[in-house]
Every structure is written in structure tokens, then in C-alpha cells.
Amino acid sequence: MAEAERIIGTPDITGAEGSGETGPDGAAASPDPVAPETPDTGATAADAAVDRSPATRRRRIILLFCVAVVAYLLDLGSKMLVVAKLEHQEPIELLGDWLKLDAIRNAGAAFGFGEAFTIIFTIIAATVIVVIARLARKLYSLPWAIALGLLLGGALGNLTDRIFRAPGVFEGAVVDFIAPAHFAVFNLADSAIVCGGILIVLLSFRGLDPDGTVHKD
């Protein structure tokens, strides 16, 4: 008997003993794989795609201030050139009567509105700058960084005139010089503010928030 068992061999029943179940061919059945559980955070696919790492927020803030600095320096440089070369001179025609460079001093808001409320517009410009600085703390959206940068650069450009130009601090007149036909005279700061505002309106219509969240209404 011992010799016969050596030749035939003994069956391997280790797997059957462990599971207690056998397949159709008599072999031990393997347990079904269990899928790992994924936590349900309630986030949408669009939100999950937003990179909200500190490095991303840092890059967006840097972009915001770079756009603001470029807009501010272009506005400041153009005004200095206009005051030095064009003020008290005849307007320069760029496209005949359709577009001229004509230096004027504007005590009102953008495009010459509200000249009697200079101090109020100064306060509004300062408030806009504070609001943008607060929004930057949760900024993860690239388009919002550009839009806020344009607003910040334009607000700083005109606020610089309000503070440092005549007739006095916080009452200074803004230098305007771009004069299209049948339209108010404006400057590069006004252009940056308008472009930034239009971009913000478009982003709002698309449901995109500064933190990158997309709302589908």
C-alpha cells in the first residue's frame, strides 16, 4: 500500500480545505475579487478636474500681478508721454476725424462721467483694489487671473492720477488722450478696466468662479 501511494501520489486538498467550495472540475473555487471602495465626496467631474494645489494658486496670483503691472506701466508711460509732448498742443490725427490723440484732464470717472464726484470715484477705485486682493486668496482660474489683473492695473493707473495730479490728493484729474469720433476721450487704464469687466461678465455667463468651480444652471 505504501508503494502504491508513492506511485499514484496524494491529492492536493489545501485550497479546498481553505474555501470549503469546489468548482465543476473538482478544483477549489477562488474567491471573487472585491472592488475597492471609493469615497463619495459629492464633487462633480468638473470640480475634480480643477487643480487647487498651493502651487497652482501661487501661479495664478503671479499671473494676476504680472498682468496688472504690465497694464499699469503701459498706462503710466503713455500718460507721462502725453503730458510731456501732447498737452496744450493741437490734437494728432491718427485716422482723420475718426481717431485722434487729444490730451485732456478728466476729474470724473472713466470716459468723463461724473466730474462732480471725484472723491467718490477715488474711494471706489481703492475699494476695487482691496476686493481684488481678497479674491486672490482663492484664485485658481486662469481667465479670472487675467480679468482681475486688467481691473487691478487699470484701477491703479487712474488711482495714481487721483492721488498725485492737480488739483490735490484724492481729487486729481485723470489724463485722457484717446479720442474717437462721437465718443468720450479715454486712456489705457479705462481700456484695461473695460476689457477686464467684459471678460468677467463672459466668465459669469459661463458659470465659472474664481476658484475654478463651474456652475451649470
CA 153 to chain centre: 14
Active site residue 211: no
Angle at which helices 142-164 and 54-85 cross, to 10°: 40
Active site residue 176: yes
Give the CA angle between residues 66, 67, 73 to the nearest 5°.
Answer: 85
131: DSSP letter: H
Exactly one of 75, 97, 176, 211 is catalytic; which is it? Answer: 176
Exactly one of 32, 40, 190, 217 is catalytic; which is it? Answer: 190
First-to-last C-alpha distance (Å) of the chain:
83
Please give the backbone phi and psi of residue 140, each rounded to the nearest 5 degrees, phi first.
-130, -5
97-101: long-range pairs with CB below 8 Å, 24+: 97/181, 98/180, 98/181, 99/178, 99/179, 99/180, 99/181, 100/179, 101/177, 101/178, 101/179
CA–CA gap between residue 27 and residue 41 (Å, rounded): 42
Q: Which residues are known to be catalytic?
A: 176, 190
